[in-house]
Amino acid sequence: MSRVTLAQWRMLAAVVDHGGFARAAEAVHKSASTLNHAVHKLESQLGVALLEPVGRQVRLTEAGEMLLRRARQLIENAEALEEVAQSLVQGLETEVVLAVDQSFPPDTLAQALDAFAVEYPLVRVQLHETVLNGAVEMLYDGRADLVVSSIPAQGFLGEPLATQRFVAVAHVDHPLHRLGRSLDLRDLEQHRQLVVRDSALHQSMDAGWLKAERRWTVSHLATSRDMLERGLGFAWFPETRLRDALEGGRLKPLPLGEGGVRLVPMQLIFSDRDRAGPATRTMASALKQAAGNRSPFDDIE
């Protein structure tokens, strides 16, 4: 049996979508006889009727509906493949590797990714949620195209993206709140501190640790927050990730005389700005726009 072609399936789809051979012929700029011949040949090759007459029009048979439904998937995949090939010709990356510190506001990140997807729906994104040196290490190892980090990277030029507020917090019923007075370092050292582990494999650090023995170290901010809400310790935590808990009264800032709020600047760093492709540059612009620093995609070259 001869192999059917995508062109034949496309012609069948056109006939169905436009309600007949004449209208389909006008839409795809082919003669009605050409479409008729293609569909009849397709039916002959498959050995099954795909269309049946209804008055002066045609409609799919039951078998035709099932086969065309699957054929449309093939057509869409073929079109997507052609778009990818065209993108490669134009120098577009197939994937952008983005490393973002977990403290970066999730709403801002989601907004940036949404804007990027509109511009480049076919480009894959690998998102690595890092802590402290984790993102910078990915730069050094050549494993990330773009990084959002609070840690400066030696040999790389970053640009300011946002300033994140970390607040010292604990559950509203935590013993530190029961003291009913301003707190200092000696008070904190008597209680368990929750610390998020540096995701770097080689040069890790403990930012914000008070050197107290009573410390629990976790791997993700979400785990630290869950423990905070269970009253298992205190922590300095990104304010943007606590708004609902603070407004709901489940967590409460610690009344520290000093150091209760830490301002942490976040930087946007390219692995190699000069070699960055259009997708990577668009991702960077989307992040800056979402963070409120730039107009959309204003620095795309």
Cα torsion 109, 115, 118, 119: sign: negative
Low-confidence ranges of the chain (pLDDT < 70): 1-2, 83-84, 86-91, 201-213, 293-301
pLDDT tens profile 204-256: 555 555 555 688 999 899 999 999 999 999 999 999 999 999 999 999 999 99
Whether residue 146 sits in one domain with residue 29: no
The confidence score (pLDDT) of residue 198 equals 83
- Among candidates 232, 292, 280, which has minimal Cα distance to 126? 280
The confidence score (pLDDT) of residue 154 equals 87
- Choose one of 89, 112, 145: the last residue of a domain: 89
Is residue 50 included in any domain, yes or no? yes
Distance CA 11, CA 261 (A): 65
CATH code (residue 255): 3.40.190.290
The confidence score (pLDDT) of residue 222 equals 92
Per the structure, how many domains does the chain have? 3
Whether residue 149 sits in one domain with residue 181: no
Whether residue 242 sits in one domain with residue 279: no
- Residue 270 three-state SS: strand
Q: Which domain holds residue 22?
A: 6-89
Instruction: Note the pTM of the prediction, 2 decimals.
Output: 0.65
The confidence score (pLDDT) of residue 90 equals 62
pLDDT tens profile 163-189: 999 999 999 999 999 999 999 988 998
